[in-house]
Amino acid sequence: MSMIRRLKWIGALGAMLLPALMVCAEQRFPPPDFESGYTLPSPSTPPARALWLQYADTGVFLAALAVALWLIYKKRSRRGLFWLSLFSLAYFGFYRKGCICPIGSPQNVVYALFHPEYALPVTALIFCFAPIGAALFAGRAFCAGVCPQGALQDLMLVKPVAVPPWLEEALGVVPFLFLGAGLACAGAGTGFVICRYDPLVPFFRLSGGTFILTAGAAFLLAGMFVGRPYCRFLCPYGGLLRLASLASKWRVRVTPDICTRCRLCEQSCPFGAMREPAPAEIHPTWLGAERRRLGWLLALLPALVIAGAWAGSKLSPAAAQLDPGVALAERHARQQSHPARYGFMTPEALSLQRAAENPGAILAAAADMRRRYDLACWLFGGWMGLVIGVKLLALSVRPGRTDYEPDRGACMACARCFTACPNERVRLGLAPAGEGSAPS
């Protein structure tokens, strides 16, 4: 590498680190100093970390991502990926307690876009975009060995059963809808609902509410028979990686050589990502019907987006109540018309008392939030229409595959299918040469 190029890299790295130095650990309010010896518990889980440790986490994360790529493409090693995912589960899951993780990080980015006063940490930026960058070039390497949620579900997998394709496709839009909802809330400024409703993080933290623990347990139990149900049917970041992977430069291939169409890999993927080659001949009468359907669906797409946006805008009064400020304003206003009796000194009673003291401020803040939600819900509704419309279109386009290969978006690059291929077994020396040759 030339000196100029090296200097450019150092300069770019310095520019990235500079903003982080400016926002380094500043205690917003000094905590009270208890004289009884009581130690204040950390207000956040996991506790705030020194800046250098955050960079160390980022370094470990990038290294794990690089190792995953090497294991998938260079070593083609399922065993290596298994050990890497165990490490990720231990480090990013149980040690770092699931935070910071890329799944919630798009919310940080969107929050920063709509709230200029928020300093987006460099670490959040890297955690958000590094896996997407990797997916743009080489698929879902993050899901393969770096994601602790994925690793936990992988460990639970006992006897995978195939999800019917029609159900798989229908449930496949849920991550995109969850992504839209999460980003809408983050943009409005209410909080990070993707993190709040992550069903697996409570297991890393060994604590959580009843609802979320039950949901997490349900996912893990389902994960014994359905490969990675959270990743496939809920994870919003998985949705983003899925999109990025569709445009990836390199892709995971089952065979290291020529596909013999032996179909031995057909059942090897527990995530329903394996796709058969498209039939060569097409019935001429179908072609016209398919084209007409495609035309109709193309025309339907803008209508779905507009209808979604309209429906979303109607959701705003309810969705805004996710915000504690709006919820308090609602409760305060409701209290005037239908007074409810709350327990003495309960949080509800105290909050109402405070609201009555300064209703103007409470209502002004709530009104501001409601306006934000008006826009957020409008965008969310439009996004919902777009996702469903595009998915309908995708299901109406004939694939052009010639080999048995994993679907680019759905493939989690777990490397399970590699050893199902006779050519791979020959390459590994597990089968005699000639077993994987093309049929005559």
Partner 1 sequence: MNTPPVHRALALTAWIAGVFCLLVCGVMMEEHFAAGTNEPWTSPQLLALREKLAAEPKNAALQKEIRQLDLKFRRKFRRRLALDKTGGWLLAGGGLMLVLAAARAAALKKPLPQPQPEDGAREQAVKQAARARWSLAGAGLAAAGSLLIIRLGHTSVLPANPDAWQKLAVKTGAPETPMENAPALSEFQANWPRFRGWDGGGVSVPASNAVAGILWRSAIPLPGNNSPIAWGERVFISGGTAARREVYCYNASSGALLWQRAIENVPGSPPKVPAVPEDTGYAAPTMATDGRRVYAIFANGDLAALEFDGSVAWTKYLGPLNNPYGCATSLATWGNNLLIQLDQGGSRPAGSKLISLQGASGRVLWERPRPVPASWATPIVIEAAGKTQIITLADPWVISYALAGGNELWRARLLENEIVPSPVFGGGLLLLISPGARLLALRPDGAGDVTKTHLAWASEENVPDIASPVSNGELVFTVTSSGMAACFETRDGKKLWEKELGTDVQASPGIMDGRLFILGEHGPLVMLQAGREFHEMGRIPVPDKFVASPAFAGGHVFLRGVTNLYSLGPAASGLARQP
Spatial separation of the C-alpha atoms in residues 180 and 315, rounded to whole Å = 14
Q: Which of 50, 63, 167, 247 binds partner 1 (CB under 8 A)?
A: 167
Of 330 and 403, the one with the shorter C-beta distance to partner 1 is 330
Task: Give the shortest CB-312-to-partner 1 separation in angstroms.
Answer: 8
Query: Which stretch, 28-36, 70-78, 192-200, 424-432, contacts partner 1 (CB under 8 A)?
Result: 28-36
User: What are the residues facing 405 on neighbouring strands?
Assistant: 275
Kindly identify the residues of this chain, within the stretch 249-278, that bind partner 1 according to CB under 8 A.
262-268, 276, 278
Q: Which of 366, 412, 414, 415 binds partner 1 (CB under 8 A)?
A: 366
Of 74 and 166, the one with the shorter C-beta distance to partner 1 is 166
151 Cβ contact list (under 8 Å, min separation 6): 85, 86, 88, 89, 93, 145
Residue with tokens 């980015």: 109
Of 60 and 307, the one with the shorter C-beta distance to partner 1 is 307
Spatial separation of the C-alpha atoms in residues 86 and 77, rounded to whole Å = 14
Segments in 267-358 forming alpha helices (H): 284-319, 324-337, 347-357
Given a contact cutoff of 8 angstroms between Cβ atoms, the answer to whether 406 and 417 are in contact is yes
Task: Give the shortest CB-391-to-partner 1 separation in angstroms.
Answer: 6
Of 298 and 395, the one with the shorter C-beta distance to partner 1 is 395
Element (H, E) at 9: helix 3-22
Rg of the chain over Cα atoms, rounded to whole angstroms, equals 25
Q: Which of 62, 136, 156, 212 binds partner 1 (CB under 8 A)?
A: 156
Q: Which of 26, 43, 74, 288 binds partner 1 (CB under 8 A)?
A: 26
Q: Which of 51, 173, 222, 375 binds partner 1 (CB under 8 A)?
A: 173
> Is 159 one of the binding residues for partner 1 (CB under 8 A)?
yes
Of 80 and 389, the one with the shorter C-beta distance to partner 1 is 389
Spatial separation of the C-alpha atoms in residues 200 and 202, rounded to whole Å = 6
Element (H, E) at 423: helix 422-428
Kindly identify the residues of this chain, within the stretch 97-126, that bind partner 1 according to CB under 8 A.
117, 119
- Strand locations in 243-288, DSSP E? 274-275
User: What are the residues facing 406 on neighbouring strands?
Assistant: 274
Task: Tell me the per-residue interface mask from 39 to 68 with partner 1, x by CB under 8 A, - otherwise.
Answer: ------------------------------
**Sign of the C-alpha dihedral computed for residues 299, 302, 308 and 314 taken in this order:** negative
Task: Give the shortest CB-172-to-partner 1 separation in angstroms.
Answer: 9
Query: Which stretch, 30-38, 82-90, 127-135, 432-440, contacts partner 1 (CB under 8 A)?
Result: 30-38
> Is 22 one of the binding residues for partner 1 (CB under 8 A)?
yes
Task: Give the shortest CB-56-to-partner 1 separation in angstroms.
Answer: 26
Tokens of 340: 């409810």
Given a contact cutoff of 8 angstroms between Cβ atoms, the answer to whether 124 and 54 are in contact is no
Task: Give the shortest CB-251-to-partner 1 separation in angstroms.
Answer: 21
Burial class, 66, CB count within 10 angstroms (exposed 0-12 / middle 13-18 / buried 19+): middle
Q: Which one, of 317, 106, 118, lies nearest residue 194 by Cα? A: 106
Task: Give the shortest CB-106-to-partner 1 separation in angstroms.
Answer: 20
> Is 329 one of the binding residues for partner 1 (CB under 8 A)?
yes
3-state SS, residue 406: strand
Q: Which of 9, 24, 314, 324 binds partner 1 (CB under 8 A)?
A: 314
Q: Which of 20, 367, 375, 431 binds partner 1 (CB under 8 A)?
A: 367
Kindly identify the residues of this chain, within the stretch 382-411, that bind partner 1 according to CB under 8 A.
384, 388, 391-392, 395-396
Q: Which of 166, 288, 400, 433 binds partner 1 (CB under 8 A)?
A: 166
> Is 177 one of the binding residues for partner 1 (CB under 8 A)?
yes
35 Cβ contact list (under 8 Å, min separation 6): none
Kindly identify the residues of this chain, within the stretch 193-212, that bind partner 1 according to CB under 8 A.
206, 210
Distance between first and last Cα of the chain: 49
194 Cβ contact list (under 8 Å, min separation 6): 103, 104, 106, 107, 178, 179, 182, 186, 236
C-beta atoms surrounding 431 within 10 Å = 14
Q: Which of 105, 107, 321, 423 binds partner 1 (CB under 8 A)?
A: 321
Q: Which of 39, 44, 285, 337 binds partner 1 (CB under 8 A)?
A: 337
Number of residues that bind partner 1 (CB under 8 A): 84
Of 51 and 170, the one with the shorter C-beta distance to partner 1 is 170
Tokens of 312: 């979303």
Query: Which stretch, 39-47, 62-70, 100-108, 281-289, contacts partner 1 (CB under 8 A)?
Result: 281-289
Of 62 and 170, the one with the shorter C-beta distance to partner 1 is 170
